[in-house]
Chains A and B, each alone.
Chain A
Amino acid sequence: MLGLFKTPTRRVALADLPLQGEVKKEEHAMNLMLSDYTTKIPNNVSLAEDRQVLKALEGWHPGYLDWWNDMGPEGFQESLVYLRTAVSVDPKGWAKFDYVRMPEYRWGVLLAPQEEGRLVNFGQHKGEKAWQEIPGEYRAMLRRLVVIQGDTEPASVEQQRHLGKTAPSLYDMRNLFQVNVEEGRHLWAMVYLLQKYFGRDGREEADDLLRRRSGDADAPRMLGAFNEATPDWLSFFMFTFFTDRDGKMQLESLAQSGFDPLSRTCRFMLTEEAHHMFVGETGVGRVLQRTCEAMKAAGIDDPNEIAKVRALGVIDLPTIQKKVNLHYSLSLDLFGSEVSTNAANFYNAGLKGRFQETKIDDDHRLTNDIYKVLKMVDGKIAMVDEPALTALNMRLRDDYTQDCAKGVERWNKMIEKTGVSFRLELPHTAFHRQIGEFAKVQATPKGVIVPDSEWAKVRDDYLPSNDDGDFISSLMTPVSEAGKFAGWISAPKIGIDNKPGDFEYVKIEAA
């Protein structure tokens, strides 16, 4: 039974050091026998009693491990990584830190606690009791939502699999791997929903999530940004700041869902997503910090003295701005078309709400409301009134932009503190878009539409060029001595789990 999840070495060690009398000893023994699955896969969904789902997950697990070994972090599967594992959803079980080999990470199935009397909070079913089972008419729609969200989770692990080899420190390497295992856990969460609520279709979708590959010509991941390579660590930080933040917005709006298990799943995932935001925000921040300090030390005042700055072995600020332009614009595409009947249907059906839906003060039906959307009108960019329901993607995207802007402002404060005169800015919505209204035009980061011929000339002023990429790549040499950092990035202000600066976050050669 459950042979996959046995932890053979640990059972012997459970000697009864505590003197608790014979009864307690028997209890110990009992727990040992029953606890295989529940200890290996922390869960609060009574997996042990749910034979059907248990069987489905057991069937899926070997494929998952194969996928992790093939497509997970390359070269570090045997290393001991100081990781945070959630073993339950209460604050005490939230974050257990310890050294773990990644393939042995305890990917759990954890849902936020069920709220007594929770209701559907928006759309045509507003006020009904939240659904514990899927209403038949919404089955296909809901499956689509879960699969799209689920597909992004393994995708980013695939995109980032080569980065371990060039980690600028053990600290950063550990953060990368933490992000990776949590994406893995998010995949588990989505697969649980598929297997629990969608029967055979769900099981097939769960298998397909392991079949598609980021950037694969034949079976790519479903969304564009998740098929782009993450070639270097600055890209990784930008990705976690911008693209994972799209994930946060999507999860937040799915957490509003009237389908209660989806809501509870996403609510717990959000707490982990915060770690990814942290890696991105502080990662870019530390790159900026290092660049500004190096410029100051070398007496360079003009951030546009790119060659001089690069000669210091740090990434110049204009190039960082170009990376911001690239990743922000790619992430905007993830929100889909400006006008979307799908979004309207999801909302009407009570399946996917707005960001912080319950904190918004309106009728939560939106049938007669309008929302202002940027569109192309007669060759010009203009604000247009759209029905609020079909403009829901844009509303979420605007919330996303605001959230990004706050982080960018923190970066600017940091630059200002060092005394360097430079400000990072988010580019205009119309800049460098592949999806929606602005896909067919070229606009500058300021939002000025330029003809294609002109664009070809200025493209490299706004987006990373091959040369920029080569320069960044040239800096990507690994640093694996505890407490040391590559020259292009500052040390963090504080360690993970309050560890001291020279803590060995990854024991690379652990046998």
Chain B
Amino acid sequence: MNAPLKQHLIDPEICIRCNTCEETCPIDAVTHDDNNYVVDATICNYCMDCIAPCPTGAIDNWRVVTQPYSLDDQYSWSDLPVQAELEDGDSGVAIEALEDEIGALLEEARKGLGGKAVAPSSASKPTVNLYNRGKPAKATVTGNFRLTAEGAESDIRHIILDFGDQPFPALEGQSIGIVVPGEGPDGKAHAVRLYSVASSRDGEKPNANNLSLTVKREPNGIASNYLCDLPRGAKIDVTGPFGATFLLPNDPAANIIMICTGTGSAPFRAFTERRRRAMPGAPGRMLLFFGARRPEELPYFGPLQKVPDKLLGKFFCYSRVPGEPRVYVQDRIRNERAQIAKLLGDPQTHVYICGLKGMESGVDEAFADACRHASLDWQAIKPAMRESGRYHVETY
């Protein structure tokens, strides 16, 4: 069986034939006859240039197919075909990745959700698996900085990757795959590793075609050591972007509670940066509960201090400061239980948990406690939040 392909299609029922997409497409993948405007699947490279200019939204349609629809098929349509059931297909589930290898990784990371992952209703539509192992993007390392203090036990790094003129539309909360060159002892290529994007969709620097990652060097970690040792100017293979649910609500009224440990902070740096750039003064509240062993090991500690409280309420929790009691994220959540319960009762609130699997149960219990004090039922709230795309987990 052919590998499934995400095919770009135009909805003839909604299209007004204004020619904007055909005019916009840089590689002439869009064409038309007297009846319809259509996309040639053999040419389209998913650069997404045509999406935003389309006045109708007809352009933003996708079907996962094993055999792409031909131009003649598309010319003959008066409306779009429904998504065919694929083998193992599970309709209604957001497609987070097209490669099985990656899909399995994300599924594992979402296990703590306890149900089907749903994107926030106001989230932007993600591009998924634009690049794969067979056709990776080539990124250039343009920065590699140590984030943790010199004396700290852990080496956590901020790595900036530039994509040159290749489109790489990654939304905050999405991940990318790192292809480590070479083979393992079994003679097989190394598995692709996923890293959350730590920068806003318009780039690490606004309007640059780059993104950043937060990478912790793991003892004997193949991908992490590969990444942490990359010099400036190094070229690497990248796949993705991946993920279609752990995404930022595009609504300034949305409250966002973010809970993380260590490098789990990456997507939250992206969230915060996006909101700061795109909707300063947004009425929605953003809270960050951030756990680390010591301040010296908390990535972005310095810059975070400078983010105004108005934009982001920050709660740092340290578990290994000599002479001080161990504080975990769940402890700080309990301290803030009045504020937390009020937010959890608000239908505008979104919760995101990212980091070590170990924190899941503690956080869950802390939420339950906070709710109990406010006479709310967390066991009822949580699934409702999840089903409406407002509860998200990505842990490892």
Contacts and interface: CB of A to CB of B under 8 A. Distances in A.
Contacts of A494: 11, 14, 56-58
A496 B250 CA distance: 13
Interface in B280-320: 280-281, 300, 302-304, 306-308, 311
B267 to A, nearest CB: 14
Contact of B49 (A21, A92, A497, A499): A92
A123 B235 CA distance: 53
A311 interface: no
Given A9-B280, A98-B278, A278-B18, A17 B57 contact: no
A406 interface: yes
Contacts of A105: none
A188 to B, nearest CB: 19
A180 to B, nearest CB: 15
Given A19-B302, A21-B145, A99-B279, A13 B204 contact: no
Given A92-B49, A274-B20, A498 B57 contact: yes
A17 B212 CA distance: 13
Nearest to B121: A500
Contact of B16 (A277, A496, A507): A277
Interface string B92-124: 000000000000000000000000000001101
B78 interface: yes
Contact of A17 (B23, B272, B279): B272
A331 interface: no
A112 to B, nearest CB: 10
Interface in B50-70: 50, 52-53, 55-58, 60
B303 A16 contact: yes
Interface string B253-274: 1000000000000000100110
Nearest to B389: A500
Contacts of A496: 57
Interface residues of B, number: 54
Chain B CB within 10 Å — which of A10, A15, A93 has the most? Answer: A15
Contacts of B300: 17, 19
B13 interface: yes
B349 interface: no
A271 B54 CA distance: 9
Contacts of B207: 92-93
A91 B280 contact: no
A20 B143 contact: yes
Nearest to A10: B280
A24 B311 CA distance: 22
A323 B133 CA distance: 57
A277 B19 CA distance: 12
Interface in A276-322: 277-278, 281-282
B17 A91 contact: no
Interface in A1-32: 9-10, 12-21, 24
A407 B280 CA distance: 41
Contact of A278 (B50, B56, B125, B253): B56
Nearest to B306: A15
B125 A498 contact: yes
B16 A91 contact: no
Given A277-B18, A495-B57, A12 B308 contact: yes
Contacts of A94: 52-53
A374 interface: no
Nearest to A495: B57
Contacts of A407: 16
A493 interface: yes
Q: Which residue, A16, A94, A503, A507, has most C-beta atoms of chain B within 10 A?
A: A94
A499 B57 CA distance: 10
A12 B24 CA distance: 37
Contacts of A426: none
Interface string A157-187: 0000000000000000000000000000000
Interface in A409-435: 410, 413
Given A277-B18, A493-B14, A495-B57, A18 B212 contact: yes
Nearest to A407: B16
Given A19-B158, A278-B16, A500-B121, A13 B311 contact: yes
A278 B55 contact: yes
Contacts of B7: none
A413 B56 contact: no
A376 interface: no
B107 to A, nearest CB: 25
B241 to A, nearest CB: 15
Nearest to B58: A494
B215 to A, nearest CB: 14
Contact of A271 (B23, B158, B212, B272): B23
A393 B390 CA distance: 57
Contacts of B278: 98
A80 to B, nearest CB: 8
Contacts of B19: 274
A275 B308 contact: no
A406 B17 contact: yes
Interface of B: 11, 13-14, 16-20, 23-24, 26, 48-50, 52-53, 55-58, 60, 78, 121-122, 124-125, 143, 145, 147, 158, 199, 204-205, 207, 212, 250, 252-253, 269, 272-273, 276, 278-281, 300, 302-304, 306-308, 311
24 contacts: A10-B281, A13-B280, A15-B307, A16-B306, A17-B269, A17-B272, A17-B307, A18-B204, A80-B252, A91-B52, A92-B207, A94-B53, A97-B250, A99-B279, A274-B20, A277-B55, A278-B55, A281-B16, A282-B56, A407-B16, A493-B11, A495-B57, A496-B57, A497-B57
Given A19-B145, A271-B20, A493-B14, 14 more contacts: A13-B276, A17-B300, A21-B145, A91-B52, A92-B207, A94-B53, A95-B52, A271-B23, A274-B20, A277-B55, A282-B14, A494-B11, A498-B125, A503-B122
The 10 closest A-B pairs by CB, nearest first: A91-B49, A95-B52, A274-B18, A275-B55, A278-B55, A494-B57, A13-B280, A15-B306, A500-B121, A274-B55
Interface of A: 9-10, 12-21, 24, 80, 91-95, 97-99, 271, 274-275, 277-278, 281-282, 406-407, 410, 413, 493-500, 503, 507
